C-alpha cells in the first residue's frame, strides 16, 4: 500500500444495488489495499437494526461512493442513501458524494451535473487509483477534490500527469489528467472545457449579469494565455484558478458592484448569487 494513502486513508461508505454486489465487493477489496475502510451492508451483524447501521455508517464515513448502473435506477433504498449523502455534502460544503458509473444509464437529475468516474469505458484499476488520488489530493490541498476522467486520444491513454485545479474563494478543487507536455495556451482551454467554465451568467429577468475572465497561476506566477512553451507540470501540481468578475447591465459594463440602482448598479448580494449560480456544478 502506498505510504501517502496510509497516512490519509479515509472511511468510505459504498452504495449499490444487489445486482452489482460483486463489483462493490471488488471495490471494497481494492480500497482496502490502500488501507481504506470500505463499508458494505454485509458488515451488518445478524439481528442488528439495518436502518440504524446505515445511518451510523453514513454519519461516520469520510466519503460516500455510489455505484451507478441500470440496476441502481428506481431502487428506493439506494435513492434514500444518495439523497442523504447529497444533503450532507451540501450542508458540509465539502466533497462527500462520489459516483462511479458502471454503464451508460442516465443519472437522476440531481446528480446529472456532478463529476463521475467512468468504469464502463476505462480500466478498473485506473478508476480506483483516480478515486484514491482525489481523496488524497483533497486532504493535501485543503479544498474538496473531485476526480475527472483521464485525457484520451482515440482508444489509447495519452501520457499524462494528474494536477489539481483549485479556487479558494469558491472552495473547490478538481483533479484533472493533462498531457505531460501541455502548453500554457492549451492548458487554459483544457481547464475551461473540462470544468465547463461559463463566459457569463445573466439573472434577475435579464436586467443584470456578470462576465468572467480566467487566469491560471502556477508556483505563484500567472500563465500567459498565448504561450506555446511546454509547462512540464509535475504529478500532484496545484494550479490556482483565478476568476475575475465584471457586472453588466442593459447598457453595458457596470463600474462596480454597488447597491442596486436599476441598470446603473448591482448589489454585492446579487453578484454573489450570480457567481454561485454560474459555478454550482463545481461547488460542493
Task: Indicate whether 23 belongs to any domain.
Answer: yes
Domain boundary among 86, 113, 146: 146
For residue 26, what pLDDT band results from cuts at 50, 70 and 90?
Answer: very high
For the record, the C-alpha cell of 161 comes out as: 500527469
What is the number of other CB atoms lying within 10 angstroms of the CB of residue 273? 15
Task: Indicate whether 283 belongs to any domain.
Answer: no
Q: Distance between CA 144 and CA 202 in Å, rounded?
A: 27
User: What is the number of domains present in the chain?
Assistant: 2
Do 15 and 126 share a domain, yes or no?
Answer: yes
Do 218 and 243 share a domain, yes or no?
Answer: yes
CA dihedral (29, 35, 39, 45) positive or negative: positive
Does 193 or 228 have the greater pLDDT score? 193
The model carries a pTM of: 0.52
Q: What is the mean pLDDT of the chain?
A: 77
**Looking at residue 71, which CATH number applies to its domain?**
3.40.50.10140
Task: Indicate whether 205 belongs to any domain.
Answer: yes
Does 205 or 69 have the greater pLDDT score? 69
Check pLDDT > 80 for residue 253. Answer: no
Exposed / middle / buried, residue 70 (Cβ in 10 Å: 0-12, 13-18, 19+): middle
Task: Indicate whether 151 belongs to any domain.
Answer: no
Do 102 and 170 share a domain, yes or no?
Answer: no
Do 111 and 193 share a domain, yes or no?
Answer: no
Domain boundary among 146, 175, 198: 146
Query: Is the distance from CB of 105 to CB of 72 less than 8 angstroms?
Result: yes
The b-or-e profile of 3-15 (16+ CB within 10 A means b, else e) is ebbeebbbebbbb
**Looking at residue 234, which CATH number applies to its domain?**
3.10.20.90
Task: Indicate whether 284 belongs to any domain.
Answer: no
Do 134 and 168 share a domain, yes or no?
Answer: no
Do 186 and 237 share a domain, yes or no?
Answer: yes
Residue 159 is predicted with a pLDDT of 56
Task: Indicate whether 228 belongs to any domain.
Answer: yes
- The stretch 98-112 carries a mean pLDDT of 85
Does 124 or 267 have the greater pLDDT score? 124
Do 10 and 115 share a domain, yes or no?
Answer: yes
Do 133 and 254 share a domain, yes or no?
Answer: no
Do 70 and 180 share a domain, yes or no?
Answer: no
- Could you list the residue range(s) of the whole structural domain that residue 139 is in? 3-146
Does 149 or 109 have the greater pLDDT score? 109
Do 215 and 264 share a domain, yes or no?
Answer: yes
- According to DSSP, the residues that pair with 245 across neighbouring strands are 212
For the record, the C-alpha cell of 270 comes out as: 446579487
- The stretch 263-279 carries a mean pLDDT of 79
Residue 262 is predicted with a pLDDT of 39
Residue 24 is predicted with a pLDDT of 93
Check pLDDT > 90 for residue 219. Answer: no
Do 160 and 90 share a domain, yes or no?
Answer: no
Check pLDDT > 80 for residue 76. Answer: yes
Residue 23 is predicted with a pLDDT of 95
Q: Distance between CA 190 and CA 183 in Å, rounded?
A: 10
Domain boundary among 119, 146, 173: 146
Residue 29 is predicted with a pLDDT of 92
Do 93 and 126 share a domain, yes or no?
Answer: yes
Query: Is the distance from CB of 70 to CB of 45 less than 8 angstroms?
Result: no
Amino acid at each position: 500500500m502506498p505510504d501517502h494513502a496510509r497516512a490519509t486513508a479515509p472511511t468510505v461508505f459504498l452504495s449499490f444495488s444487489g445486482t452489482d454486489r460483486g463489483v462493490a465487493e471488488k471495490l471494497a477489496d481494492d480500497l482496502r489495499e490502500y488501507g481504506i475502510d470500505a463499508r458494505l451492508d454485509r458488515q451488518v451483524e445478524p439481528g442488528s437494526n439495518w436502518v440504524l447501521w446505515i445511518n451510523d455508517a453514513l454519519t461516520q464515513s469520510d466519503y460516500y461512493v455510489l455505484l451507478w448502473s441500470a440496476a441502481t435506477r428506481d431502487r428506493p433504498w439506494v435513492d434514500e442513501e444518495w439523497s442523504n449523502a447529497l444533503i450532507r455534502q451540501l450542508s458540509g460544503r465539502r466533497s462527500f458524494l462520489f459516483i462511479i458509473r458502471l454503464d451508460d444509464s442516465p443519472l437522476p437529475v440531481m446528480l446529472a451535473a456532478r463529476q463521475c468516474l467512468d468504469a464502463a469505458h476505462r480500466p478498473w484499476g485506473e478508476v480506483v487509483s483516480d478515486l484514491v488520488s482525489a481523496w488524497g489530493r483533497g486532504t493535501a490541498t485543503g479544498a474538496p477534490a473531485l476526480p475527472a476522467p483521464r485525457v484520451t486520444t482515440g482508444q489509447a491513454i495519452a501520457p499524462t500527469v494528474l494536477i489539481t485545479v483549485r479556487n479558494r474563494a469558491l472552495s473547490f478543487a478538481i483533479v484533472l489528467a493533462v498531457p505531460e507536455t501541455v502548453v500554457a495556451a492549451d492548458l487554459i482551454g483544457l481547464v475551461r472545457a473540462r470544468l465547463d467554465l461559463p463566459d457569463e451568467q445573466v439573472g434577475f429577468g435579464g436586467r443584470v449579469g456578470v462576465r468572467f475572465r480566467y487566469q491560471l497561476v502556477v508556483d505563484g506566477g500567472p500563465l500567459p494565455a498565448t504561450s506555446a512553451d511546454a509547462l512540464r507540470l509535475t504529478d500532484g501540481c496545484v494550479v490556482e484558478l483565478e476568476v475575475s468578475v465584471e457586472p453588466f447591465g442593459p447598457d453595458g459594463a457596470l463600474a462596480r458592484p454597488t447597491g442596486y440602482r436599476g441598470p446603473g448598479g448591482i448589489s454585492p448580494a446579487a453578484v454573489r448569487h450570480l457567481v454561485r449560480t454560474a459555478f454550482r456544478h463545481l461547488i460542493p
